[in-house]
Structure 1
Amino acid sequence: MPEAVPWDFIEEKRDAFKSALYEVQNQGPLQGRFQEMFEPRLVALSPLHHGKPSSCAPSSPRPKLRFAARFAHVNGYTDDQELFYRVRAEIGDLRKCYNREDIAAYDDEKLAWMLFVDGCAVLCAVSYVVEGKFDKLNTKEDLLLLKILICSAKDPQIWEQSITDFIAQNLMTNTEHRKRKHVDDDKDYAHLLERLRDELLTGEEMKIDNSKIGRMLLSCGDSRKHRKTFRSIKELKESGIHVKPSTTNNLKDIHFYCNFLGKLMMPRLLVDDSTASKFLNLVALEMCRDFKNDFEVTSYLCFMDSLIGSADDVKELRVSGVLHNYLGSDEEVAELFNKMSSDLVPDQKRYFKVTEDIHKYRTNPWTAALAKAYYTHFSRPWTFLAFQAYFSAIQAYFSLPLKSSP
């Protein structure tokens, strides 16, 4: 039997998430929009969707039963009752994962059987996704149920690793689908979404200092407090600011630095038909009243919306290597980000330094002239290199000590 775990400290967080998710779907800023992003697409899981008609997920339990039977067979269980009673023994803690009203119609036996089938099906399906037998799987299963089943498996480490690899494959910033070891495997997560969010917000951040010329250009800009003074990537490019991909998968790794031209460094982002579902469910998680966070994902979506005003902006992000578009046209991506961020309130301090430096750079009277000269005369690599060599030679000449006359 799995060891007893003090789940009391995350019980309220789970309940708050369920309540917040309901509010987001029915009363919150996303009301009437993206409703399908909160509904199951392939197979309905958990008591929240059991027995409810859905246009997205089939109501038949047969696919889940096949997956559950596969999980039992792989782990050497010939009698499903033995594995079922592992879940039945923990039904008291499992009930705490849901609002009482949502599971009031189920006695312990029915609820345990439902969770047993769903949990086994999720673990088996996750394993198939990791092995490449499925393309995608969207699941919002609670991790307590999965932990109980993993502890009952023949080799728990294999199934734990499949969860880790599954999260890595679902990172929107992991464009190369590289396997990553989670930074804190010992942390008790209440939900798969919480673990996905943690992965998106952890890891090293790039630290690039401004050059001497860059510091001089920024010092000449307007340093007064201000509101955001740019509306798109196109405007930034016209003022001499280029967008470049950072080397990390951390959504918080957004920096601006200045050398000769300005550079906005951002993590790469993969956009496909699952992006909206992942982001909006993460936003719902951040809206939980008892979930302590700084609204990092919400703030990121709002910052992306400030950069994307049209398909031209998406094209610039795509050409620069920041955005990988597997959704469709650039117009669809622009519309997606504009809709996702509608009515969301970001943490105003999250990107204050970035927007402040961008403002200083754009309000410097010299930067517009430098950008125009660059696009007119030095946009080709060899001409720009020649200019840099000439400029460096001038700097070196004036830095030499003056010879005293005889």
Structure 2
Amino acid sequence: MMFLDGCFILQYIYGIVNAIPEVLDIIHHAPLVLRGLFLLENQLPFIVLQVLMRLKSEKYKGEKMIMAFIKRIRGEPGEIGNILIQQLLPSGVTLLTGDWYTHRSARDFTSVGIQFKPSKTSQLTDIDFMSTCTSGTLQLPPIIVDDITKSILLNLAAYEACPDSVTDVGVTSYICFMDSLIDQDEDVKVLRAKGILINFLGSDGHVADLFNEIATDLVPSPHAYVEVKKKIEKHHRNRMKIWIADWLHTYFRNPWTFIAVTATILAITLSVFQTILAAIQTYLTAHPPKG
């Protein structure tokens, strides 16, 4: 049975990657096929696929074909292929040590001067935080969210929870990190506007519900993203940065407010200069230069 299933999987992957007409005729069933491929109960030992691939091609050529298939199905922007290939192949994720001190959503971050930016890759470990004198930027890997995202992430998390799993719960930690940023649709809106969440699922509320649901009862690694969390916490503890961010958010969030504040500052400045000039003129009148 594993031999037949393995042959089907590799032939399906080969057909998609090489655009074989007979396989492309059933491409509209791809979501159903993918759900079946990634269900925990349907998993084959990767060594079975490796043995079968060696019968037709070199080992690494076959693995490249699998990666090309995942990218083709999921799409390049924010593709989840790097997540999946790590669960087929030996994991290369390195996690850090530390704690997440407090829970704050994406909308809360923007109110204290923290902006969001897509990472250069879609690797789950490609998360970083950079701080400046007045603000901060949290980089997150972009990800497509569609009808099969929930099934894929849940099954990868379930795979990591297996007693004989050799993974480092990287997917589980990522899900929990995203859940900490997403409480409701407004948080999704913030991340979507920055190109981090590519929403093919529906409303922003549906995306928020997805992450909230799949993160239920999941326990992340206590060492995941520790350096990023420390930097964020340090930013939150800097009262001067928070004050500046709050001031900018309050008075410069739209053009009309900006114009009003600028006009007020200009009027005050001109008034101060006028007062100074008047004082100088009064002094010179009372004390005319001698000679």
TM-score, reference length from structure 2: 0.69
Q: Distance in 2 between matches of 1:339 and 1:178?
A: 19
List runs of 5+ in structure 1 lacking aligned partners: 1-113, 181-190, 203-224, 388-406
Partner of 1:123: 10
Do residues 251 (structure 1) and 115 (structure 2) align? no
Instruction: Say which SS state the counterpart of residue 56 (structure 2) adopts.
Output: coil
1:113-133 Cα offsets, whole Å, 9 max, x none, are x33432222112112332452
2:49 alignment partner, one of 146, 149, 165: 146
Partner of 1:360: 234
1:171-227 Cα offsets, whole Å, 9 max, x none, are 69x4266999xxxxxxxxxx977226847x48xxxxxxxxxxxxxxxxxxxxxx986
Instruction: Report the structure number with the largest CA radius of gyration.
Output: 2
Q: More relative contact order in 1 or in 2 (CA 8 Å, sep 6+)?
A: 2
The one-letter amino acid of 1:152's match is L
List runs of 5+ in structure 2 lacking aligned partners: 38-42, 263-291
2:78–2:143 CA contact under 8 A, matched in 1: no
Structure 1 pair 346/156, CA: closer, same or farther in 2 (3 Å)? closer
Q: Distance in 2 between matches of 1:179 and 1:192?
A: 6
Q: Distance in 1 between matches of 2:80 and 2:179?
A: 27
Partner of 2:205: 331
1:270 alignment partner, one of 120, 130, 144: 144
1:241 alignment partner, one of 114, 117, 128: 114
Q: Distance in 2 between matches of 1:364 and 1:349?
A: 24
1:325-382 Cα offsets, whole Å, 9 max, x none, are 111111111111111111111112212332232222223222232113323455579x
Instruction: Say which SS state the counterpart of residue 264 (structure 1) adopts.
Output: strand
More helix by share: 2
Q: Distance in 1 between matches of 2:81 and 2:205?
A: 31
Structure 1 pair 273/121, CA: closer, same or farther in 2 (3 Å)? same
TM-score, reference length from structure 1: 0.51
Partner of 2:67: 164
1:166-185 alignment, distance < 5 Å: 166-169=69-72, 174-175=76-77
1:132-157 Cα offsets, whole Å, 9 max, x none, are 52244421333333233333338888
1:294 alignment partner, one of 168, 175, 178: 168
Structure 1 pair 360/142, CA: closer, same or farther in 2 (3 Å)? same
Structure 1 pair 348/302, CA: closer, same or farther in 2 (3 Å)? same
Instruction: Say which SS state the counterpart of residue 152 (structure 1) adopts.
Output: helix
Do residues 195 (structure 1) and 88 (structure 2) align? yes
Structure 1 pair 157/346, CA: closer, same or farther in 2 (3 Å)? closer
1:237-282 Cα offsets, whole Å, 9 max, x none, are 1111111111122101211121131111111111112212221222
Structure 1 pair 152/363, CA: closer, same or farther in 2 (3 Å)? closer
Q: Distance in 2 between matches of 1:283 and 1:179?
A: 15
Identity over the aligned pairs, expressed in percent? 36
The one-letter amino acid of 1:229's match is T
Instruction: Say which SS state the counterpart of residue 292 (structure 1) adopts.
Output: coil
Structure 1 pair 161/293, CA: closer, same or farther in 2 (3 Å)? closer
The one-letter amino acid of 1:175's match is P
